Amino acid sequence: MTEERQYVDYERDGNIVTIAMNRPEKLNAVSDEVVRQLMTAFRNFDADPEAHVAILCGRGRAFCSGADVHQRQLRSREEFERLGGPQGHGANSGDLLMQAVNWKPVIAAVHGYVLGLGLGMMLDCDLIVAEAGTKFHLTETSRGLGSAKQWAQLHFRSGAFADEVALTGRYFTAEEAKAGNLINRVAPTGRLMEEARKLAEEVASNPPLSVRATVRTRRWRLGQVVREAAHQQAPMKLYLSEDFHEAALAFKEKRKPRPFKGR
């Protein structure tokens, strides 16, 4: 039996844990296996009494290029209907921070590209540090998946800027994100993890239970907003639409999508 490759690195230094996606050859594209390994890492962090703050980051040239399109978005229609969406059983990235026991703070340290599902994971984190020049893209809009959930995540942090990003699906930079109150800090090039560590140390210097009370309340509210948005979009089953299939196929075949038909 072939041993499963390790896609997630876990390290603890004092009270601070680093959880790093390590699939650099795919720009940390998220497959079902990656999500399950992240779940294990976050459970270990949550259960460790010596761990107070975690930093989520990505190895290589990018934080995350989004969902693994070849696995998740090119499933058969039967699979989509059985699973209720692109994610596999037990591999929903939206559950990573919403099923904690101890509600410890997580800082996203992002660089390079933060696309699609990677943007969603980042927005679930409690604090965000981005390296200067980082590029973000809400790919769900152009892929035909709909961005109701991501709109809710964006709106939780930012107002009009969130509306524009969700409806245009355009790229935006770390500097724009900071100006739009979407992220907390922009780190100089080459100093991302140093800046994320400084922020983690500031958080960790406080009484842990005091911090966790705020984290639990924040995530409860964020979860409520996201569930309401998802509830509105779910009946549309956009992952079964012709437009979604064409957008995913165009990505696989490295071409422009044919004209969308609204069905």
Residue 176: active-site member: no
Q: What is the DSSP string of 170-239?
A: -EEEHHHHHHTTSSSEEEPTT-HHHHHHHHHHHHHTS-HHHHHHHHHHHHHHHHHHHHHHHHHHGGG-GG
Against a cut of 0.75, is the pTM above it?
Answer: yes
C-alpha distances in Å from residue 15, one per residue of 46, 90, 130, 213: 12, 29, 22, 18
Question: Do residues 67 and 242 touch, judged by C-beta distance below 8 A?
Answer: no
Question: Do residues 64 and 28 touch, judged by C-beta distance below 8 A?
Answer: yes
CA-CA distance, 198 to 41, in Å (whole number)?
22
Compute how many other C-beta atoms are within 10 angstroms of the C-beta atom of residue 3.
5
Compute how many other C-beta atoms are within 10 angstroms of the C-beta atom of residue 64.
30
Pairing of strands 8-13, 16-21: antiparallel
Sign of CA dihedral 220, 223, 229, 231: negative
CA-CA distance, 59 to 189, in Å (whole number)?
15
Extended strands (E) in the chain:
8-13, 16-21, 53-58, 106-110, 113-115, 127-131, 135-137, 171-173, 185-187
User: Each residue's pLDDT tens digit in the chain (263 positions)?
Assistant: 456 799 999 999 999 999 999 999 999 999 989 999 999 999 999 999 999 999 999 999 999 999 876 666 666 677 767 766 666 666 678 899 999 999 999 999 999 999 999 999 999 999 999 999 999 999 888 888 888 889 999 999 988 899 999 999 999 999 999 999 999 999 999 999 999 999 999 999 999 999 999 999 999 999 999 999 888 888 888 878 888 888 888 877 888 889 898 98
In the chain, the domains with their CATH numbers are: 8-253 (3.90.226.10)
Q: What's the confidence (pLDDT) of residue 96?
A: 92
* Chain segment 81-127, per-residue pLDDT in tens: 776 666 666 667 889 999 999 999 999 999 999 999 999 999 999 99
Q: How many CA atoms lie within 13 A of 84 on its CB side?
A: 9
Q: Report the first-to-last Cα separation within the chain, whole angstroms.
A: 43
Sheet of strand 8-13: strand arrangement: 8-13, 16-21, 53-58, 106-110, 127-131, 185-187
From 33, 131, 140, 195, active-site residue: 140
CA-CA distance, 163 to 150, in Å (whole number)?
10
Compute how many other C-beta atoms are within 10 angstroms of the C-beta atom of residue 35.
25
